[in-house]
Each structure stands twice: as C-alpha cells, then as structure tokens.
Amino acid sequence: MGPDQAFMRDWFQRYYLSQPPRPPERMDRREFGFMFFDRDYVQRHMGFETPGHMHSFLQGQVPSHSYYSSAYYQFPGAGTMEEKKWMGADLIFDLDADHVKGAEELSYRDMLARIKVELLRLIDDFLLGDLGFDASHLRIVFSGGRGYHIHVMDARLAGLRSHERREIVDYIAGTDLNLEWVFPERTTASKTFQGRVQDSRVRSMPAPGSGGWKGRMRNGIMWLVEEMRSRDLPDLRARLPALNGVSDAIVEGMLTDLYSRSGSRDGAELMLSGNALSAFSDRRHIDLFLRLLEEEVVPRFSAEIDEPVTSDIKRLIRLPLSLHGKTGLRVTPMERDELDAFDPLRDAVPDIYPDRRVEVFVRKPSVVEIKDQRFVVEGVCDVPTYAAMFMIGRRIATLEIPLDVRS
C-alpha cells in the first residue's frame, strides 16, 4: 500500500470510528460487499446480524468502497446466490455521468449539476408523477462519486422480477414508445368519387392537460417547433442529427408547412391550437416530423438511468453514509425537499477532514472546487486536508513528489 492509499485509509478509519453509518433497513437480510485500499479483490457474500458487527468491520478493515444488496435473502452470508434464497428486492435507480450525453466534457461540478437535472426529472415527472410513488418511500442518495441513487422502499414492489422492473425502465426511457398510440389517426371527412369512398385522415394530437407520455409528447412538439423556428438548414442539421440523410427539399417542405402564414397564424400554431398534426401538405413532411419526435424529442423528455441496475434483482449498491474511495466524499442520503439545495462538493465533504495543510504534487494544471473554495494547482503545492483527500482520490494529486522536482 503506497502513501496515497495509506493517507486515505487513515482518514477513512477516523471517519468510521467517529461516525459509523446507520445500518440499512432489514440489515440482517442483506448481503454486503467491500473493496479495500490494501487488497485487489472484492469481498462479498457477507452478512451482519447487528449494527455493531457492521461497525466493527468498517472500523477494523477500513474498506475503500462499501456496498449492500438491494435484495433481501434468507441466508445473505451464503457463498452462492442460489443458497442465499432470494426473498425480494428494493427498486433501485442509478443516475451516473456515464449515461448522460456530453457529461464527459464538463467539469466535475458542472457534471454533477447536469446529473441533478436528470435526477429531478426522474423523481418529479416519473416516480412521483406518472408512477405515483409516495415520497415517503423514496431514499435519495448522492453516490459519493459521479451521480445519485434512488431506492424505492415499497413492499408492493419487492416481489417484482427482472422483466417487470424492465418494463418500468422502458416506460421511463420511452423505449419503443408507440407513436400510433400517441398520435392516432382519425377520419375528418369522406367523399365518394367514381363509386369509391375516399377518407381524409389526420393524426390527432394529445389534448392539453394530457398526462404521461401523451402530455410529454405534446410539450415535446412545442419544444421542437420553437427549436426549429428561424434556423437555417446547416444549423438545424447540426442541432438535430435525425435530419441527416434527409434531402434539403423534404426538410424545407416540412419547415414551409410549419411556419408559412395562414392569416395571422403560422401552420405550427394552427396545429397546436387544433390538436391535430394538420400542418403538413405532403405525407413525407409529416413522416419526417414524426421521425424527429421519435429520435429527438423522446430522448430529451425521458430520464437518463442506468437500465441494468434497475432490472437487476440482486444488485449491490453503495452503503449510505459510507465513504467513496475515489473521492473521499460521503455517500449522502437526503429527502426530496433537501435535494434542491444540496451541493455535493460542500455537503458531502466529511466534517472530520480538517483545514490543516498537506503538501501534494499535482501532475498537470488543475482547478479544484470543493467546500466553497477554489484551488488553482500545479506542481508542488499545499492544500487543506479535505482538498487533498478529494484530489488524491481522483488522482489529480499524489503525496509522492518526484525527486527531480524536490531537487
């Protein structure tokens, strides 16, 4: 174990001695797993009968990462999954920067802010909104790293198997959303020509105030109409990849249908007020518009989640109030009404880390924001212990200063 790992392990041990995490609900039915600073393997298939047993393990073994199972088992400490005897599982959602487009290009602070936007959409629009879960059943947890977890602790859900949880995932992600259902065709007029009846058909729009995905898609149309308004073709193609491969003539025809004037109102406004996709003069134009809804609107109005986590009925998830070995931050639980004001880089920094300065070596110029402080660092520098923990955990800095730099 090198000096960096020893430094972090020492502070982790101090934290666990002074602030041992609360045990999860039904602790004696959970499996636990751990990773360590001084070992290169995962230790799992563990069970604890009492909070004291769990605290003794954390304080003595000092793991770098601590996990417990979303599942409940008859025998959580058994060595194989079959022997554990599955009894049920919490419903878990994981939002991580790995699953949010463009997050990798952001600073750590901005990345966490971007994830929080997705989190709020998932909670307010889907979990508390469409799916009707009670706020008292939600456990919201900052992961200590790059995102958040949501635990839905509702006994009615515990017995759901993987395929049933997958249906919840598909709904939230808008997977295979049936646009024929959202925008059903209806006959507006019929006429007889040479003995044959010809129907005029139009696609209905969801009515104002519609719930679920119907209401979401109506809002999506309003977003798309304004997103395309007054933009030239190169700008539109850059903003909306679904237009790639579509001829200029078809795109321009669709735009003409949407934004040409009919009296004092353009086609898009008439379409919205008439609750029908009726602005289009050519079948190819409406087909393109529906393609834009499917490929551009649905992803923007769904919620980004790690899909395998939710459908996995035997998942290990981070233990709330444990510490994250790659940041030194606390895995922090909160209520929904605490989430808006929550700042991970302030509120998840353990109080036990002092302001005492520590000399570190920073490999390349970096800007580090933590605990309402901003550090511009490079080479040999001294920073508060709380910043050193974060920088060493994220491998921005090291305690090992190269000999050529020291000399």
Residue range 362-377, pLDDT digits in tens: 989 999 999 999 999 9
pLDDT of residue 175: 92
Q: Which amino acid is at 160?
A: L
The residue annotated as part of the active site, out of 94, 125, 257, 312, is 94
Top-confidence residue, 320 or 266: 320
- Coil, strand, or helix at residue 223? helix
Residue 192: its H or E element: strand 185-193
Q: Is the pTM of this model over 0.75?
A: yes
Q: Dig out the tokens for 239 from the structure.
A: 């903003």
On the question of pLDDT at 197 being above 50, the answer is no
Angle between helices 51-61 and 3-18 (to 10 degrees): 150
Residues 6+ away with beta carbon under 8 Å from 256: none
Q: How far apart are CA 61 and CA 59, in angstroms?
A: 6
Q: Which of 90, 257, 306, 312 is catalytic?
A: 306
Residue 263 has pLDDT above 60, yes or no: no
Model confidence at 200, pLDDT cuts 50, 70, 90, reads: low
Q: What's the average model confidence in pLDDT over 262-276?
A: 73
Count of Cβ atoms closer than 10 Å to residue 65 Cβ? 21
Check residues 104 and 348 and name the one with the higher pLDDT.
348
Which two three-digit tokens encode residue 23? 């045990």
Query: Given a cut of 50, is residue 384 above it in pLDDT?
Result: yes
Indicate if the alpha-carbon torsion angle 170, 175, 179, 182 is positive or negative: positive
| Closest CA relative to residue 99, chosen from 304, 315, 301 | 304
16, containing H or E segment:
helix 3-18
122/127 Cα distance (integer angstroms): 6
Residue 172 is predicted with a pLDDT of: 95
Query: What is the model's pLDDT at position 77?
Result: 93
* Average pLDDT score over residue span 174-184: 90
How much of the chain exceeds pLDDT 90, in percent?
75
pLDDT band at 207 (very low <50, low <70, confident <90, very high): confident
Between residues 277 and 167, the one the model is more confident about: 167
Q: What is the DSSP letter of 241?
A: G
Nearest one of 138, 148, 274 to 203, comparing CA atoms? 274
Query: What mean pLDDT comes out for the span 169-194?
Result: 79
Across 121-129, average pLDDT: 95
Which of 51-55, 120-124, 265-269, 350-354 bottoms out in mean pLDDT, i.e. has the lowest? Answer: 265-269
d(Cα 48, Cα 29) in Å, to the nearest integer?
Answer: 9
Q: Phi first, then psi: give them for residue 21, nearest 5 degrees.
A: -65, 150
Domain with residues 3-174+304-347, CATH architecture? Alpha-Beta Complex (3.90)
Lowest mean pLDDT among 160-174, 274-288, 293-307: 274-288
Catalytic, out of 4, 96, 125, 312: 96
Residue 191: per-residue pLDDT: 55
Provide the token pair at 331.
């895995």
Which of 269, 250, 249, 251 is CA-nearest to residue 259? 269
- At 194 the pLDDT is 57
* Cα–Cα distance, 364 to 377 (Å, whole number): 8
- pLDDT category at 201 given cuts 50, 70, 90 is low
Predicted local distance difference test score (pLDDT) of residue 190: 52
Quote the pLDDT of residue 323. 98
Mean of per-residue pLDDT scores for the chain: 90
pLDDT > 90? residue 141: yes
Residue 270 banded pLDDT, cuts 50, 70, 90: confident
Q: Is the pLDDT of residue 41 over 80?
A: yes
Q: Which two tokens stand for residue 124?
A: 């307010």
- The DSSP bridge pattern shows strands 316-318 and 265-266 to be unpaired
Known catalytic residue: 306?
yes
Specify whether the CB–CB gap between 112 and 182 falls below 8 A: no
How far apart are alpha carbons 9 and 397 in whole angstroms?
16
Q: 92 is written with which tokens?
A: 């878990």
C-beta atoms surrounding 136 within 10 Å: 10
The predicted pLDDT at position 247 comes to: 95
Confidence bin at 257 (pLDDT 50/70/90): confident
